[in-house]
Every structure is written in C-alpha cells, then in structure tokens.
C-alpha cells in the first residue's frame, strides 16, 4: 500500500521539491496551495501516483480548516508544513493584514495542521511531521545593522523551531518523528514575490534543501540546517538554551537587586 503525504505550499519552490521527491519515492500526495492551475499542472505531470489537489489559502480560517480536516481524516504518513510568506519590513510599518497573514501562515497553520494530524499518527504508531522554517530563526541577537526589517518573520520561524523541538520530545517513543528544516537563502520565487531581486546572490537549490531534510530524518536530526557544515554549532546553541533554562531560580538574580 502506498504511503500518503500532504505538502502545503506545494506549487513552487521547496514545497514543490518535496512533492516531486516524495512522488518519486512512491508516495501518494495531497498538495495544497493557493494556485489551482499549478496544483493541477503538478497532478497532471505525475500520473504514476495519486495526487489530490486542494486549493486553500492558509492565511484564512477557512483555508486552515479545509486542510486540517484532511490531516485529521486521512492516514497521513508525512505532513510537510511548508507554506510561507515573507513581508520583510519593520514592525511599525507592517500593515495589520500582512502581520496577520504572516502569523496565520507560519504559526497558526502549522500548529493547527500538526494538531490535526498527530493524533492519527500516534494511533498508527508512525508518521513524520516536517516544519519548514529558516536560519533567520537564529538571528534574534543580531544587531540592527545585520538583521533589520523582519521581526515578525524571524519570530514566526523561531516559533517553529521551538515548537518542533518541544513536540519531538513530547512524542518520543510514539513512532512519530518531528523535524524543523532551517535553510538559508534558497533559489525559489519566494523573495521575488516580495519584490526582492536576489538573482546575483548565491543560493541553495530547493532540491538540496529536500535532500538535507530527508537525510536528516535518517540521521535523527530534529533541527536540520542544510547549509551549516559544522553541526556542533547547532548543538552549542541548544546546549546553551538548556543551560539558561536550567539555571533559573525562585530567587531574584543579584544584578536586579538594589545596591
């Protein structure tokens, strides 16, 4: 029996690369995206597997509910939460509707789709959830000169990292695997849709991101950083996180006490 995977944001870029790779590995697919024409084009070009297309806008409650219902009712072997928008700009200048769209697509949608899928995966004793974030998730401490204009975007990706790590621990021993993928700049339409021309900037291919993700699953990585050669750097970040977490006390830290 073929395994079933659901991929959001599947009409281009990393999402399409996941769909292509999973189809080549024999997965039947549910592909979700905003553009019905591209979804149908993909389905028509992959007659070797079953492809169900779902036109849904994950910035809306209706779109999230539509895809979540599929996640809850279908025996998914894999869920890839890839859909994304950028909206790079200072928070004070970010229109309310764009802030809501970004948080809905990169925070609310992955949360609700994962919630819908995970119970069935636990019951079946197997499943994989992949959340596509980015290395900007680690850029919070960067000064203004290095990382301006993307507070909500960076925060949403950091949420995906923390949620994925915590959920991975929560699901230990259930047969369900969780991974968050954190690429750097990738050669897709993503930035062009936001009005950025990165054609002269070295970029990783979407196919390489998927290769890293699937190999990372084999290696047991919860956080997959396709462009980071020295994985000990990530280990150092997470070790420091736990050290700070473990160092808390009910006593007020001395630096906050009156002299």
Per-residue pLDDT at 236: 97
Per-residue pLDDT at 98: 95
Greater model confidence, 197 or 76: 76
219 has a pLDDT exceeding 80: yes
190 has a pLDDT exceeding 90: no
241 has a pLDDT exceeding 70: yes
Q: In which residue are the tokens 């290769």 written?
A: 211
Gap between the Cα atoms of 53 and 74, Å rounded: 14
197 has a pLDDT exceeding 60: no
242 has a pLDDT exceeding 80: yes
State pLDDT tens for residues 124-158: 999 999 999 999 999 998 888 776 578 999 999 99
Q: Which residue in 18, 153, 159, 256 is the catalytic one?
A: 153
Band (105; pLDDT cuts 50, 70, 90): very high
Per-residue pLDDT at 106: 97
> Using CA atoms in the order 162, 219, 116, 48, what is the torsion angle rounded to 10 degrees?
140
> Chain-wide mean pLDDT for the chain?
93
Largest CA distance in the chain: 74
Per-residue pLDDT at 24: 96
**pTM, entire model:** 0.93
SS (H, E, C) the chain: CCCEEEEECCCCHHHHHHHHHHHHCCCEEEEEECCHHHHHHHHHCCCCCCEEEEECCCCCHHHHHHHHHHHHHCCCCEEEECCCCCCCCCHHHCCHHHHHHHHHHHHHHHHHHHHHHHHHHHHHCCEEEEEECCHHHHCCCCCCCCCCCCHHHHHHHHHHHHHHHHHHHHCCCCCEEEEEECCCCECCCCCHHHCCCCCCCCCECHHHHHHHHHHHHHHCCCEECCCCCCCHHHHHHHHHHHHHHHCCCCCCCHHHCCC
65 has a pLDDT exceeding 90: yes
Structure tokens at 243: 């050290």
pLDDT above 90 as % of the chain: 84
Gap between the Cα atoms of 223 and 133, Å rounded: 10
Band (43; pLDDT cuts 50, 70, 90): very high
Is 88 among the catalytic positions?
no
Across residues 89-108, what is the average pLDDT?
95
């Amino acid at each position: 029996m073929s395994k079933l995977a659901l991929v959001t944001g599947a009409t281009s870029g990393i999402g399409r690369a996941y769909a292509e790779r999973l189809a080549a590995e024999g997965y039947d697919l549910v592909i979700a995206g905003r553009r019905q024409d591209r979804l149908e084009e993909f389905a028509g070009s992959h007659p070797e597997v079953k492809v169900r297309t779902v036109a849904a806008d994950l910035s809306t409650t209706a779109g999230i509910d539509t895809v979540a219902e599929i996640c809850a009712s279908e025996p998914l072997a894999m869920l890839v939460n890839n859909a994304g928008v950028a909206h790079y700009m200072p928070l004070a200048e970010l229109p309310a509707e764009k802030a809501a769209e970004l948080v809905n697509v990169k925070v609310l949608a992955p949360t609700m789709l994962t919630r819908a899928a995970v119970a069935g995966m636990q019951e079946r004793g197997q499943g994989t959830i992949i959340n596509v974030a980015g290395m900007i998730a680690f850029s919070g401490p960067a000064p203004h000169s290095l990382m301006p204009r993307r507070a909500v975007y960076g925060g949403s990706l950091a949420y995906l990292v923390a949620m994925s790590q915590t959920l991975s621990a929560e699901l230990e021993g259930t047969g369900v695997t969780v991974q968050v993928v954190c690429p750097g700049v990738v050669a897709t339409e993503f930035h062009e849709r936001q009005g950025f021309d990165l054609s002269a900037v070295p970029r990783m291919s979407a196919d390489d991101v998927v290769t890293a993700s699937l190999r990372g699953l084999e290696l047991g990585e919860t956080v997959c950083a396709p462009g980071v050669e020295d994985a000990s750097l990530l280990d150092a970040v997470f070790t420091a996180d736990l050290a700070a977490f473990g160092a808390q006390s009910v006593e007020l830290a001395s630096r906050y006490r009156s002299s």
